[in-house]
Amino acid sequence: MLDMKWMQEHQEVQAEIQRVADQKGIKLSVAELMELDDQRRMLLQTVEGLRQQRNAFTQEISGFIRMNKPAEAEVTKQQVQHINAQLNELEAELRGLENEYNQRLILVPNIVSPDTPPGTSDQDNVEIRRVGEPPVFAFEQKDHVQLGELHRLMDIPRGVRTAGTRSYYLTGIGAWLHRAVQQLAVDMLVAKGFTLMDVPLTVRTEAMENTAFFPLGQDQAFRLAEEDKWLAGTSEVPLVSYYSGEIVEVTTPIRMAAASLCFRSEVGSGGRDVHGLYRVHQFAKVEQVIVCEGDQDTSERLLQEITWNAEELLQKLELPYRVVAVCVGDMSQKTYKQYDIETWMPSRNAYGETHSSSNLLDFQARRSNIRYRDAEGKLRYCHTLNNTAVASPRILIPLLENHQLADGSIHIPVALRPYMNGLERIQAPGDAAETADHAE
């Protein structure tokens, strides 16, 4: 949510917001919103004037009664009745205007940073840097599904049979690897001063709206039948909501992390990325969320920090990746500036998105009413940021594919070995007994 007064006072801001809404595909007329706001404020002024007049007449009636002047009291009562009739009509009109105004206001996108690339899709994202080189295989490579089946790391057919499309089982070392990358990410973040939290997986509509995942992202969420609750698609929602409606202390930025299951309906992705583990309904994510003072230099610095945290994890996993600046049209409604990190996936012969870092400025905090007192004691809205430290099972795609060896075994990165009882390789099928010993 943006400051409406600020929008009203700056024509250039209105033009910029309209441009951003158009590029993000948000059906919104900023001019109509401004006109509705004018009408709403003028009508509210009229209504408040009538209410004050009614209150004054009511006091007069009490005075007339005390002075035993029934005729004057009766005349004034009739004036109050006339005002009440006017108010009934105008208040109904005001409620209608307020409803229409709020429905449009909630669609207003955040402004975007000056260095955000223009564009309408991920094809317009701009590469910033690459780290590591994609492997060159001297043998016929396998994709992650083939490797998973070979080593019994996953079972997609049974997952589909049990839960429908985009479902899976991770089995044996596959499940172990899934847990290991999450724990590595958690330990990294805790060592960097993040507070680890276990969060609700179901949240109310209000929490989704306050964090700006609704109304535009509502089709991506699963709702609990006959309840005002939704399965969270990211722990960003409950983490930010933890401070909803509060005045917080942000002399030191609040750093939170959560490892949680996440759920997304993937509406609109039918036919895309249906092979394997790339786009699934249920996954696990270690999320970073920061709440800080409302200063752009501070939140920009923290954006670089959380992006580096994700990069550091990928380097520990010994995976080649690149960082891209996300264009306007590929960012969500709430985002001011975003980086995506894409990891090399041999089976796709391309980089695939595995991480995302976003700076929201005060957009999310305004909707969630999260404030702090600045040096002068004035209440201000915080800035919020978020980043995917790691998401699994998607990260298993590059982890398995990049580290496959000629004999069919899979290299385990050094940083993961302490979480897997020292296992150095997922052995080739001929060495299944050794692999089983490590897995027990």
Which two structure tokens, joined as six digits, stand for 178? 């899934």
Do 65 and 177 lie in one domain? The reply is no
Is residue 320 assigned to a domain? yes
Report pLDDT for 195: 98
Q: What is the pLDDT of residues 147-206, one digit of tens each?
A: 999 999 999 999 999 999 999 999 999 999 999 999 999 999 999 999 999 999 999 999
Structural domain for 139, as ranges: 122-439
- Tell me which of 105, 135, 162 is where a domain ends: 105
Q: What is the mean pLDDT of residues 252-266?
A: 96
Check if 54 is active-site: no
Q: Identity (one letter) of the amino acid at 296? A: Q
Check if 353 is active-site: yes
Q: d(Cα 94, Cα 146) in Å, to the nearest integer?
A: 62
Cis status, amide bond into 429, omega within 30 of 0: no
Is residue 241 assigned to a domain? yes
| Count of CA atoms in the C-beta half-sphere (13 A) of 45 | 6
Work out the angle at residue 293's Cα, subtended by the Cα atoms of residues 288 and 298, and round it to the nearest 5 degrees.
75
Is residue 53 assigned to a domain? yes
Report pLDDT for 271: 62
Report pLDDT for 359: 98
Do 56 and 130 lie in one domain? The reply is no
- Tell me which of 73, 105, 137 is where a domain ends: 105
Do 159 and 34 lie in one domain? The reply is no
Do 40 and 132 lie in one domain? The reply is no
**Domain CATH for 167:** 3.30.930.10
Is residue 112 assigned to a domain? no
Do 225 and 78 lie in one domain? The reply is no
Distant-in-sequence contacts of 50-57, Cβ < 8 A, 24+ apart? 50/83, 50/86, 50/87, 50/90, 51/87, 53/83, 54/80, 54/83, 54/84, 54/87, 57/83
Q: Which of 94-98, 226-230, 273-277 has the lowest mean pLDDT?
A: 273-277
Residue among 235, 299, 356, 409 flagged as catalytic: 356
Q: What is the pLDDT of residues 418-433, one digit of tens each?
A: 999 999 999 976 654 4
Q: d(Cα 115, Cα 276) in Å, to the nearest integer?
A: 35
Within 152-311, strands assigned E span: 154-155, 169-170, 195-197, 202-204, 222-223, 229-231, 254-263, 282-292
Q: What is the pTM of this model?
A: 0.90
Residue among 299, 392, 394, 401 flagged as catalytic: 394
Residue among 293, 300, 353, 401 flagged as catalytic: 353
Q: Could you tell me how many residues make up the chain?
A: 440
Do 142 and 288 lie in one domain? The reply is yes
Check if 264 is active-site: yes
Is residue 405 assigned to a domain? yes
Is residue 404 assigned to a domain? yes
Residue among 255, 264, 366, 371 flagged as catalytic: 264
Is residue 116 assigned to a domain? no
The separation between CA 289 and the C-alpha centre of its own chain, rounded to angstroms, equals 10
Residue among 279, 348, 380, 425 flagged as catalytic: 279
Burial 31-61 (b: 16+ CB within 10 A, else e): eebbebbeebeebeeebeebeeebeebeebb
Report pLDDT for 74: 87
Check: CB of residue 343 under 8 Å from CB of residue 314. yes
Q: d(Cα 328, Cα 194) in Å, to the nearest integer?
A: 30
Do 257 and 393 lie in one domain? The reply is yes
**Domain CATH for 87:** 1.10.287.40
The burial class, CB within 10 Å (0-12 / 13-18 / 19+), for 91 is middle
Do 140 and 229 lie in one domain? The reply is yes
Check: CB of residue 192 under 8 Å from CB of residue 255. yes
Tell me the average pLDDT of the chain: 93
Do 95 and 138 lie in one domain? The reply is no
Do 88 and 230 lie in one domain? The reply is no
Report pLDDT for 430: 63
Do 390 and 250 lie in one domain? The reply is yes
Report pLDDT for 302: 98
Is residue 324 assigned to a domain? yes
Do 183 and 95 lie in one domain? The reply is no
Q: How many distinct structural domains can be found in the chain?
A: 2
Q: d(Cα 298, Cα 58) in Å, to the nearest integer?
A: 54
Q: d(Cα 48, Cα 372) in Å, to the nearest integer?
A: 31
